[in-house]
Amino acid sequence: MSPVRSVLASILAFLGATGALAQPARHVKASLLAEADAVVPGQPLTVGIRLEMDEGWHTYWRNPGDSGLPTRARWELPGGFSAGEIRWPYPMRFRTGPLVSYGYEGDVLLPVEIRVPASIGAPEVRIAARVDWLECQEACLPGRADLSLTLPVRATAAAGPHAALFAEARRRLPAKDPGWQVTAQPAPPALRLLVRAPRGAALREAWFYPAAPRVLDHAKPQPLLREGATHRLDLPLDPNGAAPDRLAGVLVVETASGTLALDVDAPLSRGPALPPKKQETKP
């Protein structure tokens, strides 16, 4: 092939590829929703990216695990408005052969808080986002959608028609819970998470989802052991990972009262993880 033809072929191939990437996704329906029915000047507004996935297909969490990509949004907002980060409901695990990835199936709403200026010089507001995701069954396809919604500007707002979806998404958001004591210690080749549940509740199951890649080996088991009032979860480290000085992520636990997602950001202490129990203290 002559150099000119080769360059032309590259350009055509490039155009072909970007064209293919810009096609609507085939297995995920994306939409942008608002929690309230109006925008109130000076009051934050919660919107949500809803992804409705065909049976068998999934999209990814902020840390996709062994493969995949997190869903991303680029916002197009009126002057004075700004968007926060996606708030991620706790994910589930997908095992494919020896690999484990983290994400969602079915229907997920990813809430985002929009900061609203104190004065708005228009009767209505348009909020738009270009959303990119990766949808996978076994094979993966990149998905993209240009989404928007328009809301009236009012002095007060009421719940919008999708408020129930937002309530459900909030129930799945990891939260800090002062009743739970969670500490982390280095225990090469693992990190040891020590968990004390309120009122000595027993953990039936537990899984720790690290917020970032390159901390844990996602596919290895996380054995859960009970040691008195404390539960111990051993988290195998990624052998090529960066040595962390904190452990951040989500601990999903199953107790008799249901599933709970705890927001964990623990320094890696080298000392005793928990204060000694009273009965062990000799006078």
Partner 1 sequence: MKKTLAFAAVALAVLAAASVPTASAEAVVGQAAPAFTLTDSHGKSHSLAGLAGKVVVLEWWNPECPFVGKHYTSGNMQKLQKEWTAKGVVWLTVSSSAPGKQGFVDGAKADALMKEKGGASTAVLLDHDGKAGKAYGAKTTPHMFVIDAKGRVVYAGGIDDRPSTDVADVATAKNHVSAALAEVLAGRPVSVASSAPYGCGVKYAD
Which residues of this protein are in contact with partner 1, per CB under 8 A? Answer: 10, 13-14, 16-18, 21, 66-69, 92-93, 95-99, 101, 132, 134, 136, 138-142, 204-205, 207, 213-214, 217, 220-224, 239-242, 254, 259
DSSP β-bridge partners for residue 260: 253
Would you say 40 and 155 are in contact if contact means Cβ atoms under 8 Å apart?
A: yes
Quick check: bond before 210 cis, omega within 30? no
**Of the two residues 196 and 220, which places its CB atom closer to partner 1 in the complex?**
220
**Of the two residues 93 and 115, which places its CB atom closer to partner 1 in the complex?**
93
The secondary structure of residue 202, as a DSSP letter, is: P
Chain centroid to Cα 141, Å, comes to 20
State the minimum distance, in angstroms, from the CB of residue 7 to partner 1: 10
State the minimum distance, in angstroms, from the CB of residue 201 to partner 1: 17
* Token pair 């000694």 in the structure block, residue: 276
DSSP β-bridge partners for residue 45: 114
State the minimum distance, in angstroms, from the CB of residue 40 to partner 1: 36
The number of residues in the chain equals 283
Which residue type occupies 58? H
State the minimum distance, in angstroms, from the CB of residue 204 to partner 1: 8
**Of the two residues 49 and 157, which places its CB atom closer to partner 1 in the complex?**
49
DSSP letters for 65-104: ETS----EEEEE--TT-EEEEEP----EEEEETTEEEEEE
State the minimum distance, in angstroms, from the CB of residue 102 to partner 1: 12
State the minimum distance, in angstroms, from the CB of residue 54 to partner 1: 16
**Of the two residues 41 and 213, which places its CB atom closer to partner 1 in the complex?**
213
**Of the two residues 143 and 160, which places its CB atom closer to partner 1 in the complex?**
143
**Of the two residues 78 and 142, which places its CB atom closer to partner 1 in the complex?**
142
State the minimum distance, in angstroms, from the CB of residue 65 to partner 1: 9
State the minimum distance, in angstroms, from the CB of residue 145 to partner 1: 15
Q: Which residues contact 170 (CB under 8 A, 6 or more apart)?
A: 111
**Of the two residues 100 and 149, which places its CB atom closer to partner 1 in the complex?**
100
Q: Which of 160, 152, 131 is nearest to 143 (CA)?
A: 131
> Helix/strand/coil (H, E, C) string of 115-171?
ECCCCCCCCEEEEEEEEEEEEECCCEEEEEEEEEEEEEECCCCCECCCHHHHHHHHH
**Of the two residues 39 and 231, which places its CB atom closer to partner 1 in the complex?**
231
DSSP β-bridge partners for residue 195: 182, 231
